[in-house]
C-alpha cells in the first residue's frame, strides 16, 4: 500500500467500527509508519471530540508524543525485554486518561526476545477492549508465526514523493526544505523531523552549497571553508546527512550535464553552472570521493579529517 491508500483503508475501518486490536506494519521507513499511526489516533479522537479547539490541542499532543493514552515501546539496548511487555500489559489494563481508547506502538518488534514475544502473544490472544497495538518491523518473518497469526499485516511499499512531501510540510517543514529532506534515508528523515529548525537548516544547506561550489571550482579556499562554514563541528549523524546531500546534489548536476533535469536544487545548480561548467569526469570523481568519505566517517575518522581529505583529493584531482 501507499500512504494515501493506507489512510483511506483505516479511515473506513474506523468509520465502521472495524478496527482490529493488532496490526503489524512492515517496511523500512519508521516515518511512514508513524505518519499512519498518528492519522489513526487522530481519527479515533475525532469520533469523540466535537470542539474544534480541543480537537486541535489533542491532535498536537498526539504529534508531539505527549498523549497519556499512547505508549511507545522501544528496544532496551539490542532487545525488547519481557519486563517492557509486562509493563505494556499492566498499562493496557488501566482505564484511558484523555481519550476512550489506548494505543501502543512496539518499535522494531523483531527485536523482542523469546520471553517478550511469548508475553506479547498472551496480550494479543486476550485483548483489552478499546485497545490497539501496532507492531513495527522491517521483516515480518523475524516474528513468531503465532504472533503473525494474531495481527493483521500491512506491507508498506515505497511511498509516492508527494506523500512524503505532504507529511514533512504538515509537520512544520518549509516546502523547499522538505524537498531536500525527502531525499534522505528514513532514519535521517526521522531525526530531522525531531530536530528541525528552519533557520538552522537553511544555514546548513547554504554552507554545504558553498562547500560544493568550491569543490567544483577546485578552489584553494575549499580547505579553509571547512572551518569557516563550521562543517567540522557537525555531529557524526549530521556529517552523514551532509555527505548524502552532497551526493544527491552531485548526481543532480551530473544529470544536468547529460541534458536531464533531476529536479534537485535546480535553481542553485543553474546558478553554479553559469559560473563554472564541470565535466562529467570530474563529477564522477567527486561521487567516488564522496563515497570514500562516507566509508571513512563510518570507520570513526573525525568529521574534520573526512572533509579535509575530500577537499584535498578534489584540489589535487588530475
Q: How far is CA 288 from CA 46, 225, 243, 317, in A?
A: 51, 21, 12, 12
Q: What is the spatial distance between Cα 188 and Cα 240, in angstroms, rounded to a whole number?
A: 9
Helix (H, G, I), strand (E, B) or coil at 302: coil
Helix (H, G, I), strand (E, B) or coil at 255: helix
pLDDT at 144: 93
Alpha helix (H) ranges present in 106-221? 114-125, 145-148, 161-170, 175-181, 186-195, 198-217
Kind of pairing between the strands at 22-26 and 102-106: unpaired
pLDDT per residue rounded down to tens, the chain (318 residues): 545 577 888 988 999 999 999 999 998 777 778 888 988 998 898 877 677 777 777 777 787 778 899 999 999 888 999 999 999 999 999 999 989 999 999 999 999 999 999 999 999 999 999 999 999 998 888 899 999 999 999 987 655 566 778 888 888 899 889 988 887 776 678 778 878 899 999 999 999 999 998 888 888 888 788 887 788 788 888 888 899 889 888 888 888 777 776 667 888 888 887 776 677 788 888 888 888 888 888 788 899 999 998 888 877 766
| Listed residue (243, 221, 294) closest to 213, CA to CA | 221
User: Which pTM does this prediction carry?
Assistant: 0.55
Please state, as a whole number, how many other Cβ atoms lie within 10 Å of the Cβ of residue 278. 19
The contacts of residue 83 (CB under 8 Å, 6+ apart) are none
pLDDT at 77: 85
Q: What is the spatial distance between Cα 276 and Cα 253, in angstroms, rounded to a whole number?
A: 12
CATH of domain 3-159: 3.40.50.300
pLDDT at 125: 95
Q: What is the spatial distance between Cα 51 and Cα 37, in angstroms, rounded to a whole number?
A: 22
pLDDT at 311: 86
The neighbouring-strand residues paired with 155 are 26
pLDDT at 161: 60
| Listed residue (130, 132, 58, 44) closest to 88, CA to CA | 132
Residue ranges covered by each domain of the chain: 3-159, 197-315
Please state, as a whole number, how many other Cβ atoms lie within 10 Å of the Cβ of residue 113. 14
Burial class (CB in 10 A: 0-12, 13-18, 19+), 187: middle
Return the CA Rg of the chain: 23
| Listed residue (305, 291, 1, 3) closest to 153, CA to CA | 1
Amino acid at each position: 500500500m501507499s500512504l494515501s491508500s493506507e489512510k483511506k483503508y483505516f479511515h473506513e475501518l474506523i468509520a465502521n467500527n472495524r478496527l482490529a486490536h493488532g496490526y503489524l506494519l512492515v517496511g523500512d521507513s519508521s516515518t511512514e509508519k508513524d505518519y499512519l499511526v498518528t492519522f489513526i489516533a487522530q481519527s479515533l479522537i475525532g469520533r469523540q471530540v466535537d470542539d474544534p479547539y480541543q480537537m486541535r490541542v489533542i491532535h498536537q499532543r498526539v504529534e508531539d508524543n505527549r498523549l497519556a493514552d499512547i505508549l511507545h515501546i522501544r528496544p532496551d539496548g539490542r532487545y525488547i525485554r519481557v519486563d517492557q511487555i509486562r509493563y505494556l500489559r499492566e498499562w493496557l489494563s488501566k482505564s484511558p486518561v484523555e481519550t476512550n481508547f489506548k494505543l501502543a506502538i512496539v518499535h522494531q518488534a523483531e527485536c523482542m526476545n523469546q520471553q517478550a514475544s511469548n508475553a506479547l502473544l498472551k496480550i494479543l490472544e486476550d485483548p483489552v477492549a478499546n485497545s490497539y497495538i501496532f507492531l513495527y518491523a522491517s521483516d515480518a518473518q523475524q516474528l513468531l508465526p503465532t504472533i503473525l497469526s494474531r495481527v493483521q499485516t500491512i506491507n508498506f511499499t515505497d511511498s509516492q514523493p508527494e506523500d512524503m512531501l505532504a507529511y514533512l510540510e504538515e509537520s512544520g517543514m518549509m516546502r523547499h526544505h522538505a524537498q531536500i529532506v525527502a531525499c534522505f534515508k528514513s532514519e535521517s528523515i526521522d531525526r530531522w523531523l525531531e530536530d528541525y529548525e528552519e533557520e538552522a537548516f537553511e544555514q546548513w544547506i547554504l554552507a554545504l552549497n558553498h562547500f560544493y561550489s568550491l569543490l567544483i571550482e577546485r578552489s584553494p579556499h575549499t580547505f579553509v571553508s571547512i572551518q569557516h562554514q563550521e562543517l567540522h563541528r557537525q555531529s557524526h549523524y549530521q556529517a552523514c546527512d551532509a555527505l548524502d546531500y552532497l551526493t544527491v546534489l552531485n548526481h543532480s548536476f551530473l544529470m544536468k550535464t547529460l541534458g536531464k533535469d533531476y529536479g534537485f536544487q535546480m535553481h542553485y545548480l543553474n546558478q553554479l553552472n553559469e559560473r563554472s561548467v564541470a565535466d562529467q569526469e570530474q563529477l564522477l570523481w567527486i561521487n567516488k570521493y564522496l563515497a570514500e568519505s562516507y566509508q571513512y566517517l563510518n570507520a570513526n575518522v573525525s568529521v574534520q579529517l573526512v572533509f579535509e581529505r575530500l577537499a584535498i583529493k578534489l584540489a589535487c584531482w588530475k
